[in-house]
Amino acid sequence: MSDAPKQVTTLDLLEMKSAGKRIVMLTCYDALFARLLDAAGIDVLLVGDSVNQVLGGAESTLSATLDQMIYHTRIVRRGAQRALVVCDMPFLTYQVSREDAIRNAGRVMATTGCHAVKVEGGVHIAPTVRALVEVGIPVMGHIGLTPQSLHALGGPRVQGRDDAAAQRLRDDAVALQVGGAFAVVLELVPATLAGEITQSLTIPTIGIGAGPACDGQVLVLHDMLGLNDEFHAKFVKRFATLADDVRRAAGQFAAEVRAGRYPGPEHSFEK
Ligand code: KIV
């Protein structure tokens, strides 16, 4: 028998919803953090196209490329033994045609070893979700604030606030479930509406800025670790203040090198 922990599957997430067990998801972009998050028992590692902003310094996710996502997903998969690894399909790799979506998502699955892909959109993208699922690619949906449509939505604002917009979100969620998605991310959705959508679906919802009633929660890793300390949003809780630690450690290293205190004899070799 292998000592490797049992791999989380998409079916496990459905069972977790039925059993009332909360799903825990974080973004992850590299093997080192994948190993640490896996050991901490995080269920799902999302290789988000937010990598383009968080690590790449870009203003939005729009310029993330398929090659970039493949590279980061491959290295996350290398570090993860238990967690389900999901790759975010970047802008225009699945919206142009279903053939394109199958070819691009298929390349992601075949070359990275990930377990699923995520696409943004609801009613309009549901036929594409169905086409991907039919060729054997598990799909996580993403509705509410969909960052690839940031400019069309008028910025990072809460979605579904009026009756018509709330109804569109309910319809989007149902369309994704009917299309065969195994879970759906709800981003920046009023808590009551997110709870209502969660109750109405058999697939799990994973919230970010969508209140406590979702079946699971996701945050961007570098936000919750307090590493990305220039990003502030009401829904982000900082569980650590690592940016302070990095600045302190780098400052101390610089001071010790400049003062000739580092390296000392204990860090040096003779002969
Ligand atoms: O790219 C990303 O990090 C995401 C999360 C915000 C869900 O899509």
pLDDT of residue 2: 64
**Cis ω before 212 (30° cut-off from 0):** no
Residue nearest atom 1 of ligand 1, based on CA coordinates: 48
96-122, pLDDT tens digit by residue? Answer: 999 999 999 999 999 999 999 999 999
- 118 CA from centroid of ligand 1 (Å): 9
Residue nearest atom 8 of ligand 1, based on CA coordinates: 48
| Length of the chain as a residue count | 271
User: Residue 147 has what DSSP assignment?
Assistant: G
DSSP 89-114: PPTTSSSS-HHHHHHHHHHHHHHH--
Residue to substitute in 187, 206, 228 for testing ligand 1 pocket (most ligand atoms within 8 angstroms of CB): 187
| Tokens standing for residue 225 | 């670790």
Q: Quick one: 146 exposed, middle or buried, by C-beta within 10 A (0-12, 13-18, 19+)?
A: buried
Residue to substitute in 63, 139, 142, 186 for testing ligand 1 pocket (most ligand atoms within 8 angstroms of CB): 142
| Mean pLDDT for the stretch of residues 242-265 | 98
187 is catalytic: yes
Q: Quick check: 97 and 131 in contact, CB under 8 A? A: no
**Measured distance CA(210)–CA(194) in Å, rounded:** 6
Residue to substitute in 52, 208, 235 for testing ligand 1 pocket (most ligand atoms within 8 angstroms of CB): 208
pLDDT, averaged across the chain: 97
Ligand 1 pocket member 28 (CB < 6 A): no
Q: Quick check: 232 and 220 in contact, CB under 8 A? A: no
Ligand 1 pocket member 228 (CB < 6 A): no
| Other beta carbons within 10 Å of 247 | 11
- 56 CA from centroid of ligand 1 (Å): 14
- 41 CA from centroid of ligand 1 (Å): 19
pLDDT category at 5 given cuts 50, 70, 90 is confident
How do beta strands 183-187 and 139-144 pair? parallel
pLDDT category at 1 given cuts 50, 70, 90 is low
49-98, pLDDT tens digit by residue? Answer: 999 999 999 999 999 999 999 999 999 999 999 999 999 999 999 999 99
Ligand 1 pocket member 114 (CB < 6 A): no
**Terminal-to-terminal C-alpha distance of the chain:** 47
| Mean pLDDT for the stretch of residues 169-180 | 98
In 3D, which of 99, 86, 103, 96 has the Cα closest to residue 26? 86
3-state secondary structure labels for all residues of 214-237: CCEEEECHHHHCCCCCCCCCCCCC
Q: Quick one: 6 exposed, middle or buried, by C-beta within 10 A (0-12, 13-18, 19+)?
A: exposed
In ligand 1, the atom with minimum distance to the C-alpha of 54 is: 3
Q: Which of 15, 187, 196, 266 is catalytic?
A: 187
- 48 CA from centroid of ligand 1 (Å): 5
pLDDT category at 3 given cuts 50, 70, 90 is confident
Q: Quick check: 179 and 138 in contact, CB under 8 A? A: no
Q: Does residue 42 surpass a pLDDT of 80?
A: yes
Q: Quick one: 210 exposed, middle or buried, by C-beta within 10 A (0-12, 13-18, 19+)?
A: buried
